[in-house]
Amino acid sequence: MVPVIALVGRPNVGKSTLFNRLTKTRNAIVAEYAGLTRDRQYGEAKWQGRTYIVIDTGGISGDEEGIDAKMAEQSLQAIEEADAVLFMVDSRAGMTASDQMIAEHLRKRNKRSFLVANKVDTVDPDLARAEFSPLGLGDALPIAAAHGRGITGMLQAALGEFPRDDAADEEEAAQAEEVAEGEEAKRIPGPSEKDGIKIAIIGRPNVGKSTLVNRMLGEERVIVYDQAGTTRDSIYIPFERNEEKYTLIDTAGVRRRGKIFEAVEKFSVVKTLQAIQDANVVIFVMDAREGVVEHDLNLLGFVLETGRALVIALNKWDGMEPSERDYVKTELERRLFFVDFADIHFISALHGTGVGHLYKSVQESFRSAITRWPTSRLTQILEDAVQEHQPPLVNGRRIKLRYAHLGGANPPLIVIHGNQTESVPKSYSRYLENTYRRVLKLVGTPIRIEYKGGE
């Protein structure tokens, strides 16, 4: 499971600044679910081979009435769900009553917390340490988020103990490179294929995730279904269908009681993000009656960033007027262009309509995501593409692209070697990506292209 780090502190201590630095605002997703005092940001970040999720929990002002009243429910939930808390204080402003209140809360909750003294560009770091030692959370880690100082030391403390990303990933990548020259394209099962395809059912509250999970499981024979889940953990449900193995990652918290499944959990962004990270394929559920809303786009952006294979399910398609349906379809085309590689299904989880068809897309996108393509094949496609459209001249010299090999799977990573590769325009990369997608018939998965060799 990817570790989760929460940034906590009163307003203006520099949480957003640190958040942006850690995530490079690459894929910050802003969640505005009911009950939040201000937009909460979630992002994926990487440090020394470790992927982690970082949450900016928003400001805790902690005035007179006690902390619980001041912290939005989601904010508290984020602290509860975090593996570690970075508690930020402002060295320039010095210690305040709010800081003491937050420290007290973290101590009470017995949270793995690190005291982070920000803005040490304005004061002596030693003074900052002394200033905040009464908080009783140990020596403050001095940083200047705005200038990138002290970040490595801070991350070492907070993340050093977590294992690096799946060693299996590296193994897979190595294996991918080993596919010999001249070999036919072939399918080497990835490690996850043995356990079946891991499918995460993702979506905003009330779009119909639990109904869909029930529907999918109700139809099939559930082999094992007995896992204690906490608020934070999704439930993993292995099952078989037409002799194919799957594991459903259920974020909606469906529980079996007797023979009925019922939803008992409330929505958790952290759980959602972790499930996406852990899945091979995401079934992204939207409510056709509400159309495409901002939160959907935020979550989809995160799915895209992680590179997971994607199938979109427009739920509650039952009982909609033809004119409404047309409107939704136009909306989809207009707003979901950035995930246009994904199949879209119009379903009714309630009545079961269209649910069976999801499996075909799940399987195709999974195969697309994990197939190993030999170097010879990828290079041939590159050569043909270059012949059809030359890359542009840079300073009077033509960019040279020599060969390509597979650097990873789920999502497929195509590594292209050549000269002046740092000058390849975005439009040309898109052209190559589209060519690979078309020739290799890749559906339902993003493709990553990476260049090696500059000058």
Binding positions are 9-16, 56-60, 118-121, 203-210, 250-254, 315-318
Nearer to ligand GDP, 104 or 121 (CB): 121
> Which two structure tokens, joined as six digits, stand for 76?
């508290």
Residue whose CB is less far from ligand GDP, 32 or 240: 32
Nearest to ligand GDP by Cβ — which residue?
Answer: 208
- Minimum CB–partner distance for residue 288 and ligand GDP (Å): 8
Q: Residue 110 gets which letter from DSSP?
A: T
Q: Is 279 left (phi over 0), alpha (psi -120 to 50) or beta?
A: beta
Which tokens is 2 given?
């990817």
Specify the length of the chain in residues.
455
CB of 179 to ligand GDP, least distance (A): 41
User: Smallest distance from the beta carbon of 254 to ligand GDP, in angstroms?
Assistant: 8
Q: At what angle do helices 294-306 and 269-278 cross, to 10 degrees?
A: 30
Residue placing its CB nearer to ligand GDP in the complex, 207 or 432:
207
Question: How far apart, in whole angstroms, are the C-alpha atoms of residue 202 and residue 200?
Answer: 6
Q: What whole-number distance in Å separates Cα of residue 124 and Cα of residue 423?
A: 43
What CA–CA distance (Å, rounded) separates 179 from 357? 33
Kind of pairing between the strands at 113-118 and 141-142: parallel
Distance of alpha carbon 306 from alpha carbon 51, whole angstroms: 10
Question: Which helix (H) or strand (E) segment is 245 a member of?
Answer: strand 244-250
Nearest to 192 by CA among 361, 374, 409: 409
Nearer to ligand GDP, 98 or 368 (CB): 98
For residues 153, 233, 352 and 203, what is the CA-based torsion angle, rounded to 10 degrees? -30
* Smallest distance, ligand GDP to C-beta of residue 140, A: 14
Residue 210 or 445: which CB sits closer to ligand GDP?
Answer: 210
Which of 117, 197 has the CB closer to ligand GDP? 117
Angle, CA of 362, 366 and 370, to the nearest 5°: 180
Residues found near ligand GDP in the complex (CB under 6 A):
9, 11-17, 59, 118-119, 121-122, 144-147, 203, 205-211, 252, 263, 315-316, 318, 348-350
In the complex, minimum distance from the CB of residue 423 to ligand GDP, in angstroms, rounded to a whole number: 34
Output 286 or 415, the one with its CB closest to ligand GDP: 286
- Number of C-beta neighbours around residue 294 at 10 A: 10
**Closer CB to ligand GDP, 73 or 318, in the complex:** 318
Q: How far is the CB of 236 from ligand GDP (least distance, A)?
A: 17
Question: Tokens 């912290």 appear where?
Answer: 71
Within 13 Å of residue 450, how many CA atoms lie on the same side as its CB? 11
Q: How far is the CB of 54 from ligand GDP (least distance, A)?
A: 13
Q: How far is the CB of 10 from ligand GDP (least distance, A)?
A: 7
Nearer to ligand GDP, 245 or 351 (CB): 351
How far apart are CB 139 and ligand GDP at their closest, in Å? 18
Residue with tokens 């069976």: 356
| 400-408, strands of its sheet edge to edge | 400-408, 413-419, 448-452
Mapped onto helix, strand or coil, the DSSP state of residue 101 is: helix
**Could you tell me the CA-to-CA distances from 322 to 4, 187, 329 in Å, in that order?**
44, 42, 11
